[in-house]
Amino acid sequence: PLELTADTSSMSGSRRWRSAEWTCLETRVLNDTYAPLSREEAQEAIDACAPGGRIYELLQAKPWCGIAHLEDDDAIPEGVLRPCELRVVIPSEVWCGISHIWFKVALTTSSGVTKEAIWDTEIMIRSRIPTAAAIGPNEVFVPPQRDPGDPLPRLRLEVSTTPDFEMMDACTCGLTLPPATDGSEAKVTVDWYYGEIRYGVKPMFYDMFPVPLSEDESDAMNVLTLALKGDILLPESSWLFVARAAYAVHESNEAALVPFVVNVGPLLPPKIVLKAPSRVNQDMCNFVIDASETELRDFLFWSSRPQASTALTAIDGSGGARRLQVVNISNSTVTSTTTIGYDIVQPQALAFQWDVYRLLDKIDDKKGGQTKNAAINTLRSATTPYVTIDQRAFDTGLYIFTVRAIDTAFPDIVGEANVTVEIDEEERPTYRTEGPAPILGPFDDTTVTFTQFGFSSCPIPFDLPGQPPGRMLLMRSIEGEQPDEFEAVAELELVSSFTPVGTYLRALTLQATVDRALLRPGFVYRYKLFTTSIAHGEMDTYIQELFETARRQVDRDPASRAYKREPLTIPDWVWVDDSLPFTVVSGPTAGSLEVLEPLPGVGYSMQDNFKFQQLWATDAPPLQYAYFYARVSDLKLEIFEKYRLMGFTDANTTARLSSLIEGEWIVMSDWSEDPTLVTPLPTGLYVIGSKVRDANLMEDMRLAAVRVLSPWADDILTAQDRLTLLTQYVTRSQQVILQVRGANRGAAAVVPIAAAVKELPDLTTYDFTTMLGWYATSGDPNPMWSQPIYGTPIVSKEVRNLVVSFLSEIMNVVGDIVGALDKQAILGFPDTRRRLQGSMSLSSEAVSVKTPSHIQALAEAYVRIAESITPLRAPELGVKLGKLVVRLLSRTRMAGFDIRTQREAAINLLKVEGILLANSEPAPMPRDGDIKVNTSANLQVQLSSVILAGVQEIGDAMAAFLPTDTEEQIAIKVIPEETSNVTAGDLTLTVVVRSLDSVKAMGVNMMPDYQAQDRWAYPRIEIAGLGEPGFMGQNWADPDTKLASTARYQSAVCYQPPEQESIFDRIVVLMVEWPSNPVMYASGSLIGSTANVTMGYTVELRSCGETIDIGATPGVTGKLKMTFRLEPDTVRDRRWGYNSLIPYRVSWWEDIPGIGTSEDRIRRWTTLGCLTAWQNSQEDVVK
């Protein structure tokens, strides 16, 4: 279907929209020679927008709203539109035969102001492209400068992508191509391109350039995040960015293009900070007009060029479009631009000019006469950042002081600021008031500062011993009240200090800060400072009267909106100074959370995609949205259903649904400008939490409830029924999974997707192997003909292939999730989770319902997938899963995640390796003769490789933050099937961290527990002191491999930041006890030695994810000694057959590229370089 939405529209006056009117403006008819329309069909398509036309009638009926919009609904007050009215859904049978549609939407605010927008959609017949749309505005404005101290600004563009797999096997427009049923269109790719808009002409797509991946800071494919610097910030330039979305299988041919226009603003003058007193005594006070805190703005077109390793620079000497270009700094080559005026970096400095004029009177802004020209001329000739006005220099009156600040690099761009100062004859202190901001954001400072700006004979307050020189009150009024109707709320602690002002080094400063808990939206606040020199008692009495007056219950006069009380009289010699009034931002309002699909919030696990949508009103766009969820115990089903059926629009929804929650809120999606989330959910009862955040970082939330049913019925008894249900489940679930994958919001669904994997059917209850051994030409009857009625169902090859494809797609989605995980998602939020704020009260006690974190959830999903792979006999799935383990741990390495904080996740990942090991088999490949075999392509070889790599990564993760000389160990049981070649036993991973100095001096000495009755988790290891490693460990390495090892070390990535850890700083001793041969593919007579691998261990020294090369050193023997203790069964089996001969050989697995004149890779068990010692007197010990 074609869906149009206006749900991210803003500037509605902080109220919900009154109405939304959608109008179909025009349609154009398809001209397709392969399927021409009849005259009647063409005319019907042309008239689709006219009254009575199919699109017109659809817009009137609003079927996407359900039947609720036709009924009286008390939840939606009159004059407020329903959320569904902000979107239009046009089914394919309605737009069939149309190639282009133009729509207009008119949104009306609560005050009656109407805003319109027009959009057109091109329908590309016979094209296989996903639906792609911009999230947020298509036109963005960015400044070419930043204020000092501000972070480098970022450009963030986002698109949503939606594949059409929901239409698989469904009836659609006969003129379009249906989705591929083989899942080949599962992956949607999004590539970003850009080009400069010159003279108002947008570049053609083929003239645009791809955005370098090194410049994009986002891990999400659908999001582009660029640090704004370099030539892209050419003042008053415009750029076209395009997101090209395509199915990966068709990406070279067809794609949907989503344009964004980025406009760079003009250069701004310096940021002027002008300080002056509001009132000053003419006869007694010198005062200062101060602009010394004025700052230059950082011109980002220049600032990144000389320093950064990459920049957005201009090339193309022919005057073509500028490009994002990596600049080679090593040879000082920087490409210049053809832009006159900006190609040479100019020094930036501040210059000042001053002016003043007197107002004719206090309410007239016309310039008046001035008799003391000498003082004015002196001020106008000043070039300093501040000026001092002497007492009696000006007559009494109202004066406007103006400062002009100029950046010498841009002398034509002049900033100007002015301040009004009243010069009168009243004896009072002279203060400059600062802060807080007129509209206070959630993180803005609430401090007010009154600074002395009057000197010489100016009055100053006197303090009593042990008391500050005054008192500070917070005053409050309701928005819209009269200015004099502020009432006292609280007294604040007043802090006094001294600070330099101009040439005066000790100016009195009085500060106070209010607790934000006292500030609420809808009120106007101001600070009121009381000081005195001799009337401290009168001042205290007056303040007491202010508080008593504020506490009185007084009636309001609705006509005058004024208090019925007499104003208080300020005592003599008590000076009162007010700050400017300020308010607190209110944040998003009028919010709702809807469950769009499935209706009415009840669906099946892994069969239905749940679609949630938020709608909010704001005047501080753009809004960002996030989603959370929490499990509800099944024991609360009855009350849960009661609350769910009550709806989620009344004021008590949050309290009502929060009372159901016993566990913790878990992030379901991170912040995005897309208000919609589509995701499957596992079986259970859920409260969905939605959160919104505006440009002021103000947040709010809404809740909803959904119920997810299991698709598996308990009363399915016959084998054939179970097969039918399995086929239906896999087919439908695959469409759901493909839909999620195509949306490219992997990280948004990490927890629910991982949890949904647990809903996979128990495949061990199906027979997948019988049909694998049968062929039509075998002469045996088809086993499917003898399908048992109630026994274990025999699965056909076609259904098995469908299940294999389904599991493969699940792993593709999980892979996308892992690839999109950013550092914050891996490390977690404060307190390891981001909790919803608001009125919800969550229990911190242990609960029966637990939702795992991201890493733990993925690790549990990996185990469930591994268990599902086992009965399928599909090694290609094992290889894929093994790579997922390595990929997940690589992401944790990049994020610097300490997996010991989630030990269960490490154990689960090791459990996956054990299951994969149990499924490994010998590789049926020839060994003898001149036949050359590429073993790397064999699935069993790949499976072994990913198992070894996965265990190494788990060990690195366990040791990443382990204290020096501390041992960490995890173990799992490997229980293979009866027909497996793998022996049951323990898979144990042990890591110990040694310091570099320790390894240099004393080497490594690991002593197992000789008193243990079980097999040792690692042999006794003795490595002599290795000495200085030299450059990149070359002194330790084998002469034949040291160059290759150096190359590996140089690309090593440590878990901790480079400033905290580099390679060789920490040496990890990694030891693995294998229950069976970890390179099972090499056993047997077809490949490798026919040796019986009795006891396998892995022993490695590692650092920053790389194996340390401590190969053979010429002339040095005994560099590594290991002692193994054999198991009793092995000793008894060998004792009688070998007499005094050594029945064992210590060997090692050699896996290296070809050396010398041979180019063939070497993979083998070898005793090369090993000496084996064994004695009858210690028959269970081999050295």
Query: Is pLDDT above 70 for 963?
Result: yes
pLDDT at 261 (0 to 100): 95
Per-residue b or e along 963-987, where b marks 16 or more CB atoms closer than 10 Å to that residue's CB: eeeeebebebebebeeebebeebeb
pLDDT, greater one: 107 or 96 = 107
For residue 143, give both structure tokens: 């400044």
pLDDT at 704 (0 to 100): 94
Average pLDDT over residues 449-476: 82
Strands 439-440 and 582-584: parallel
Query: Is pLDDT above 80 for 324?
Result: no
pLDDT at 188 (0 to 100): 85
Average pLDDT over residues 794-799: 89
Query: Is pLDDT above 70 for 793?
Result: yes
**Model pLDDT for residues 339-370, shown as the tens digit of each residue:** 446 778 888 899 999 988 888 765 555 555 54
Average pLDDT over residues 397-422: 90
pLDDT, greater one: 80 or 635 = 635
pLDDT at 831 (0 to 100): 37
Average pLDDT over residues 208-221: 86
- Peptide linkage before 600 cis (omega within 30 of 0): yes
**Model pLDDT for residues 554-566, shown as the tens digit of each residue:** 444 444 444 444 4
Find the DSSP H helices in 519-616. Answer: 536-551
For residue 354, give both structure tokens: 């001053």
pLDDT at 454 (0 to 100): 84
Residue 600 pLDDT grade (very low, low, confident, very high; cuts 50, 70, 90): confident
pLDDT at 474 (0 to 100): 92
Residue 425 pLDDT grade (very low, low, confident, very high; cuts 50, 70, 90): confident
CB-based contact 722:792 (threshold 8 Å): no
Task: Please give the Cα distance from 128 to 126 (Å, whole number).
Answer: 7
CA atoms within 13 A on the CB side of 472: 21
Task: Please give the Cα distance from 1106 to 607 (Å, whole number).
Answer: 43
**Model pLDDT for residues 1131-1157, shown as the tens digit of each residue:** 655 555 455 556 667 777 777 665 544
Query: Is pLDDT above 90 for 640?
Result: yes
Task: Please give the Cα distance from 133 to 318 (Å, whole number).
Answer: 35
- Dihedral, 695, 696, 699, 700 alpha carbons, nearest 10: -80
Task: Please give the Cα distance from 162 to 421 (Å, whole number).
Answer: 61
CB-based contact 794:720 (threshold 8 Å): no
Residue with tokens 């022993």: 1099
**Model pLDDT for residues 1087-1104, shown as the tens digit of each residue:** 454 557 778 888 889 888
pLDDT at 747 (0 to 100): 62
3-state secondary structure of 1139: coil
Task: Please give the Cα distance from 974 to 940 (Å, whole number).
Answer: 18
3-state secondary structure of 544: helix
Closest CA to 785 of 766, 804, 800, 770: 770
Task: Please give the Cα distance from 284 to 586 (Å, whole number).
Answer: 45
pLDDT, greater one: 668 or 60 = 60
Q: Which of 756-770, 872-886, 959-973, 1113-1127 has the lowest mean pLDDT?
A: 1113-1127
pLDDT at 315 (0 to 100): 32
Average pLDDT over residues 236-248: 92
Residue 664 pLDDT grade (very low, low, confident, very high; cuts 50, 70, 90): confident
Most confident of 64-73, 97-106, 1123-1132: 97-106
CB-based contact 229:152 (threshold 8 Å): yes
Phi-psi region of 922 (alpha: psi -120 to 50; beta: other; left: phi over 0): beta
3-state secondary structure of 800: helix
Average pLDDT over residues 873-896: 88
Residue 765 pLDDT grade (very low, low, confident, very high; cuts 50, 70, 90): confident
Closest CA to 741 of 689, 814, 802: 814
pLDDT at 554 (0 to 100): 47
List of E strands, 109-187 = 114-122, 131-135, 139-142, 145-146, 154-162
3-state secondary structure of 590: strand
**DSSP letters of 392-428?**
TSS-SEEEEEEEEEEETTSTT-EEEEEEEEEEES---
Task: Please give the Cα distance from 644 to 706 (Å, whole number).
Answer: 7
